[in-house]
Amino acid sequence: MFNSKLSFLILLLLLPLSSSSSSPEAIQGLVERLDTQRPSPFLQESAAKALLRRLLPTHLSSFEFKILSKDACGGYSCFWITNYENSSNKSAEITVQGTTAVEIASGLHWYLKYWCGAHVSWDKTGGIQIASIPPTGNLPLVKKDGIMIQRPVQWNYYQNVVTSNSYVWWDWERWEKEIDWMALQGINLPLAFTGQETIWQKVFMDFNISAQDLNNFFGGPAFLAWARMGNLHAWGGPLSQNWLDQQLALQKQILSRMIELGMTPVLPSFSGNVPAALREIFPSANITRLGDWNTVDGNPRWCCTYLLDPSDPLFIQIGEAFIKRQIKEYGDVTDIYNCDTFNENSPPTSDPAYISSLGSAVYKAMSKADKDAVWLMQGWLFYSDSSFWKPPQMKALLHSVPFGKMIVLDLFADVKPVWESSSQFYGTPYVWCMLHNFGGNIEMYGVLDALASGPIDARISENSTMVGVGMCMEGIEHNPVVYELMPEMAFRKDKVRVEEWLRVYSRRRYGKSVKQADAAWEILHRSIYNCSDGIADHNTDYIVKFPDWDPSLNTYSTFSKQNRTPSFITTHRNRRFILTETQSTLPQPHLWYSTRDAINALKLFIDAGQDLAGSLTYRTQITMWYDTTKTNQSQLHDYANKFWSGLLVDYYLPRASMYFNRLSESLRENTRFKIVEWRTEWISYSNKWQQDTKLYLVKAQGDALAISTSLFQKYFG
């Protein structure tokens, strides 16, 4: 009986609702320079107060905020929480001091979590839960000397070039919430990629590239990340001028708020990715066509982008022009620039001299426009293309710039850390990052133990070059427990005891301590939230798994008796019936990326003169990419799969039904499964679904608790 109740409780829990420090000398000059460029203490204190007004307006007078010098923090960035002197019911009760407004916000969040039992998450994963906070005049006091928490490493990085999965549809209202969340989590080094197509438009037009030529270069909104990385071109476009202009205006709002809070935004730079038309305007330029990236039969309409060789003088001219244009539009807001030269595209040669010249040219293009520029690079290539990036090639790239002018993101350190096998990136400063999510998939997954100890192990290791922690997920608004623990590691000097931490987390998230809830989280911690198999996780749950297996090629007898895979498949198959049962009754929280955000984005497209079908090309991003033949499609189908209402009822279920109908027919007639006919049928169906303009419910329908109770009783009661 207890196990049944505990299983039900786990189901309910999943509903939305100190050691040494390290700061390598290589980055000290950068850190000191950035500190001098921050807004005045008054402006940062005002920004922190404005955040409090948005978060907890009833307690605006309960907190006093002050900027604190690093000297007062022992030379580190820190926050310091103390009781307000001479506090009364009509005055402040708690003082939060910090070296920037980000540290003040982090200190506020720390106090609200660990003294008031509050919980702050994304709206879709529980939202802001503050009922436990006492009324003004009754806030709990901290110990006499206060609580000072120092950052053991300089930076807390956030985002991935592919996180546009989540935020490309946002307006300023949603961005404002996200930046508040970032500040509360202590994020001080966020990627700021919005609006860069507008900058590139201005730059390339200065090089005589026409707007029409750029339509064949920029990817559509759902595919910006991959066009920016040079994996594809034009797919999902074109971009309207109205959209481009609005994105630039939005980026200026984003940067302004980040800077007010004391963050250092990371801006894009030039990696060599150029429009095809540049070859005609500069026929002598050394421009190489790259290979195919997951298109259907190498379709040149979308694939095989063009790379301007770094040895060509034009490379530095374009790179310098881009940085200067950003400075002209945004002001001198940063010295840190992201550039990923070969993301899932290998260089044309493995010659270390060539790779070194490439890196040198990339940095020279940055530094000619910003003499203090620092190159921030995603280290994904060292994992994903490790057969190419051997030690000589890695060293050639990492050492191609002056020491201290490059920082590497160890992007997948939560599962496949590169720092361990590369002598700490051969002396180059790096950020220990959690990747966690691929394609913005919605699933239950985490490696909590690795998060609780991995950054500490890296920081205290011999000759450590670690300078920060980061979150580099491809999509957000899922698995809130993961995104509660990981940001804390930016302030943790010692490893976290996850079992104890989860008990406190559970009490905050659900409003009180419940033994059954604690027991449920123990199970979750031992299972889905502690996946230690070292496998790159990607959602392949049965209902979204593409059925394209020809059973005539295998028989059950080929499995050994010890092989539990068939049983595992059967277990997952049972989940299909639950999902099928729930598809029309469970709350429908969003259609495509997010309900209201997607509707606003759609309205923007329509206002810009785009037709409805054209504006919905991002249906392909979550299903099947590129053009298809009758029987062939891209390897990227279902990469960004989602458990969303429109997909479940009108895409995944019909597709699976078509497959199993054909499979049943072949079994009844004892004939070979007609795999070619099946592929023809589903590709045709997928194309029709992508072109459909059907809209689904924007707001949730039904009672999640009642529906969950009904499902539990039906299948486990």
Q: Convert the pLDDT of each residue in 612-655 to its tens digit.
A: 334 456 688 888 888 778 788 777 788 888 887 788 889 998 99
CATH of the domain at 460: 3.20.20.80
Span 471-523, pLDDT tens digits: 999 999 999 999 999 999 999 999 999 999 999 999 999 999 989 999 999 99
3-state helix, strand, coil in the chain (%, to 5): 45, 10, 45
Strand 287-289 with 306-308, pairing: antiparallel
Pairwise CA distance, residues 157 & 153, whole Å: 11
Q: Which of 239, 158, 237 is nearest to 195 (CA)?
A: 239
Q: What is the pLDDT of residue 552?
A: 67
Q: What is the pLDDT of residue 290?
A: 86
Residues 462 and 546 in one domain: no
Confidence tier at 19 by pLDDT (50, 70, 90): very low
Residues 403 and 435 in one domain: yes
| Residue where a domain terminates, one of 526, 550, 569 | 526
Largest CA distance in the chain: 87
The residue-averaged pLDDT of 545-554 equals 70
Place of tokens 């006919």: 677
pTM for this prediction: 0.88
Judged by DSSP in three states, 548 sits in: coil
Q: What percent of the chain has pLDDT over 90?
A: 63
- Whether residue 3 is contained in a domain is answered as no
Residues 402 and 505 in one domain: yes
Q: How far is CA 184 from CA 82, 148, 177, in A?
A: 18, 16, 11
CATH of the domain at 132: 3.30.379.10
- Which residues are bridge partners to 434 per DSSP? 471
- Whether residue 345 is contained in a domain is answered as yes
Judged by DSSP in three states, 402 sits in: coil
Q: Is the pLDDT of residue 20 over 70?
A: no
pLDDT top residue among 563 and 187: 187
Q: Is the pLDDT of residue 663 over 70?
A: yes
Domain count, the chain: 3
Place of tokens 């996850």: 498
CB-based contact 336:266 (threshold 8 Å) = yes
pLDDT top residue among 606 and 713: 713
Residues 141 and 203 in one domain: no
The residue-averaged pLDDT of 70-92 equals 88
Q: What is the pLDDT of residue 50?
A: 99
Q: What is the pLDDT of residue 601?
A: 44
Which two structure tokens, joined as six digits, stand for 542?
């049965």
Place of tokens 């090639």: 393
Highest mean pLDDT among 100-109, 381-390, 542-551, 677-686: 100-109
- Compute the mean pLDDT over every residue in the chain, rounded to the nearest whole number: 86
Q: Is the pLDDT of residue 566 over 60?
A: no
- Whether residue 9 is contained in a domain is answered as no
Residues 141 and 248 in one domain: no
Q: Which of 698, 569, 713, 566 is nearest to 645 (CA)?
A: 698
Residues 91 and 172 in one domain: no
| Residue where a domain terminates, one of 117, 150, 183 | 150
Residues 100 and 245 in one domain: no
Strand 287-289 with 147-150, pairing: unpaired
Residues 634 and 609 in one domain: yes
CB environment 200-231: b (16+ within 10 A), e (fewer): bbbbbeebebeeebbebbbbbbbbbbbbbbbb
pLDDT top residue among 601 and 647: 647
Confidence tier at 343 by pLDDT (50, 70, 90): confident
Residues 232 and 340 in one domain: yes
One-letter amino acid for residue 404 of the chain: G
Confidence tier at 449 by pLDDT (50, 70, 90): very high
Residues 195 and 68 in one domain: no
CB-based contact 181:168 (threshold 8 Å) = no
- Whether residue 95 is contained in a domain is answered as yes
- Whether residue 534 is contained in a domain is answered as no
- Which residues are bridge partners to 487 per DSSP? none
Span 35-44, pLDDT tens digits: 999 999 999 9
Which two structure tokens, joined as six digits, stand for 80?
């310091």
Q: Among the listed ranges 73-87, 233-247, 327-341, 624-638, which one has the minimum average pLDDT value? A: 624-638
Q: What is the pLDDT of residue 554?
A: 52
Q: Is the pLDDT of residue 577 over 80?
A: no
Residues 702 and 577 in one domain: yes
Which two structure tokens, joined as six digits, stand for 567?
């049983």
Q: What is the pLDDT of residue 537?
A: 63
Q: Which residues form the domain of 196?
A: 155-526
Residues 159 and 142 in one domain: no
- Whether residue 533 is contained in a domain is answered as no
The residue-averaged pLDDT of 128-151 equals 96
Q: Which of 158, 140, 705, 25 is nearest to 436 (CA)?
A: 158
| Residue where a domain terminates, one of 107, 123, 150 | 150
The residue-averaged pLDDT of 209-235 equals 92
CB-based contact 587:697 (threshold 8 Å) = no
- Whether residue 2 is contained in a domain is answered as no
Q: What percent of the chain has pLDDT over 70?
A: 85
Q: Among the listed ranges 112-121, 265-274, 308-317, 576-585, which one has the minimum average pLDDT value? A: 576-585
Which two structure tokens, joined as six digits, stand for 56?
């907890």
Q: Is the pLDDT of residue 193 over 50?
A: yes
- Whether residue 581 is contained in a domain is answered as yes
Q: How far is CA 302 from CA 346, 616, 623, 626, in A?
A: 18, 18, 17, 8
Q: What is the pLDDT of residue 55?
A: 98
